[in-house]
Amino acid sequence: MKSVLFLAGFMLSACAGVTDMQTADAPKEGQALIFTRALSSGALKISSEPRIEISSELSAPDLAPNTLDDSQKLERQAEYAEVMLQVEERQKVFDGKPQHFKLDGQFVQGGLVFGQTAPGAKVRLDGDEVMVGEDGRFVVGFGRDSALSALISVTLPNGTVESKAIEIEDRDFPVQHIDGLDQSKVSGFTEEQLAKIAIDSGKKKSARATTQSTADWATGFEWPILGRISGVFGSQRILNGEPKRPHSGVDVAAPQGSIIHAPAPGIVRLAETGMYFEGGLVLIDHGHWLESAFLHMSRIDVKSGQRVEKGDVIGAVGATGRATGPHLHWSMKWTGRLVDPQLLVGAMPEEEGAVGH
């Protein structure tokens, strides 16, 4: 009987009709539970039609309640209650508020979601383990083209597991045309350029090989510079007519030499001039594999390994690397996934009145 009841639990988790559960509760004498797929709706339903359909694995007495003695009936009821509990637990994944963790942030493509659970808990996002701070804080992120749902599971130190399915909002991203670029930086590279790109790539890779367990991101983020937003995250760039990878961050137009501030605390992992694409590049590790990158800088005022606090000067705006004019390109990655920095800082403040930044 257990196999049938388990199947009932599994199927109920797909349709979760309360009335269906009740019909399954008390099959009448001579009736068998028959699982049918309602073709009209596609939903799975359980009916108790007076037809007999016996699985080859089940013997007839299992399906005839009047042949069970009292202890067998009790055992059967207990099994049924257990299955129903499992169904209830599964349903909470979709409906209920989690009891053992909190989530806050942007449940959208390119968004970051900040969580808090018990110290010592383990957190998984779609099965992948997520770093959790000693105080139980964690962060998860969703890329530009992320699936529209995700499952967060938390395992408490006592073994209790709680899961929550979350919806990720779909976003439309604009198309941006940029013409008049040096064609050599748009398509095709010389061997010399490819060698330089490979060296740069190695430097970025080793800078990104580590992260700190301190949740520096928990202080929140501020714009690293004020100015007109000249490019947004996720836009599809068409350079000299050729479609390129979506824009990885937000661009802020600012005069050459304008000061750039750390948007949040962190550890500088790379401070390098002359990168082929990025020009002057600074990478800041905000903890838990969340990183900021600042590109095209004309001057760099920090060193690799140095700790910075929110608001510290890290360098100045330039047009180095692949840039058409002076601006700051700020991009962010969580575990290698690009996320949208603008979602963390909101609208650009008016420049006047916000001076002193």
Task: Show the tokens assigned to 18.
Answer: 């309360």
Nearest to 221 by CA among 139, 301, 143, 160: 139
Which of 162, 251, 272, 278 is the binder for Zn ion (CB under 5 A)?
A: 251
Cβ of residue 232: shortest distance to Zn ion, in angstroms? 9
Looking at the chain, list the stretches that DSSP marks H as alpha helix, in order from N- to C-terminal side: 2-15, 18-25, 60-63, 70-95, 191-207, 342-345
Considering the complex, state which of residue 231 and residue 246 has its C-beta at the smaller distance from Zn ion.
231
- Residues 6 or more apart whose CB falls under 8 angstroms from that of 26 comprise none
Binding residue count for Zn ion, defined by CB under 5 A: 3
Considering the complex, state which of residue 265 and residue 279 has its C-beta at the smaller distance from Zn ion.
279
| Region binding Zn ion by CB under 5 A among candidate stretches 43-51, 208-216, 245-253, 283-291 | 245-253
Site pattern 317..356 for Zn ion (x: CB under 5 A): ------------x---------------------------
Task: Show the tokens assigned to 101.
Answer: 């963790």
What is d(CA 17, CA 48) in angstroms, rounded to the nearest whole number? 14
Considering the complex, state which of residue 261 and residue 296 has its C-beta at the smaller distance from Zn ion.
296
Phi and psi at 347, nearest 5°, equal -65, 145
In angstroms and rounded to an integer, the radius of gyration of the C-alpha atoms of the chain is 28
Considering the complex, state which of residue 53 and residue 242 has its C-beta at the smaller distance from Zn ion.
242
Cβ of residue 317: shortest distance to Zn ion, in angstroms? 12
Q: How many CA atoms lie within 13 A of 8 on its CB side?
A: 27
Cβ of residue 328: shortest distance to Zn ion, in angstroms? 9
Taken as a whole, the chain contains a residue count of 357
What is d(CA 282, CA 272) in angstroms, rounded to the nearest whole number? 7
Cβ of residue 193: shortest distance to Zn ion, in angstroms? 20
- Looking at beta carbons, which residue is closest to Zn ion? 329
Considering the complex, state which of residue 251 and residue 291 has its C-beta at the smaller distance from Zn ion.
251
Cβ of residue 113: shortest distance to Zn ion, in angstroms? 24
Task: Show the tokens assigned to 201.
Answer: 């790539």
Q: Which residue has the tokens 């350079």?
A: 239
317-344 per-residue burial string, b: 16 or more CB within 10 A, e: under 16:
bbbbbbbeebbbbbbbbbbebbbbbbbb
Q: Which residue has the tokens 């979350």?
A: 166
Cβ of residue 267: shortest distance to Zn ion, in angstroms? 23
Task: Show the tokens assigned to 199.
Answer: 């060296």
Sites for Zn ion among residues 113-132 (CB under 5 A): none
Nearest to 48 by CA among 65, 71, 69: 65
Q: Which amino acid is present at 280?
A: G
Sites for Zn ion among residues 27-46 (CB under 5 A): none
Site pattern 201..240 for Zn ion (x: CB under 5 A): ------------------------------x---------
Considering the complex, state which of residue 121 and residue 239 has its C-beta at the smaller distance from Zn ion.
239
What is d(CA 168, CA 299) in angstroms, rounded to the nearest whole number? 38
Considering the complex, state which of residue 162 and residue 251 has its C-beta at the smaller distance from Zn ion.
251
Cβ of residue 341: shortest distance to Zn ion, in angstroms? 11
Phi and psi at 288, nearest 5°, equal 55, 35
Considering the complex, state which of residue 94 and residue 277 has its C-beta at the smaller distance from Zn ion.
277
Cβ of residue 315: shortest distance to Zn ion, in angstroms? 16
| Region binding Zn ion by CB under 5 A among candidate stretches 171-179, 212-220, 248-256, 344-352 | 248-256
Cβ of residue 92: shortest distance to Zn ion, in angstroms? 42
Considering the complex, state which of residue 325 and residue 336 has its C-beta at the smaller distance from Zn ion.
325
Interface residue list for Zn ion (CB under 5 A): 231, 251, 329
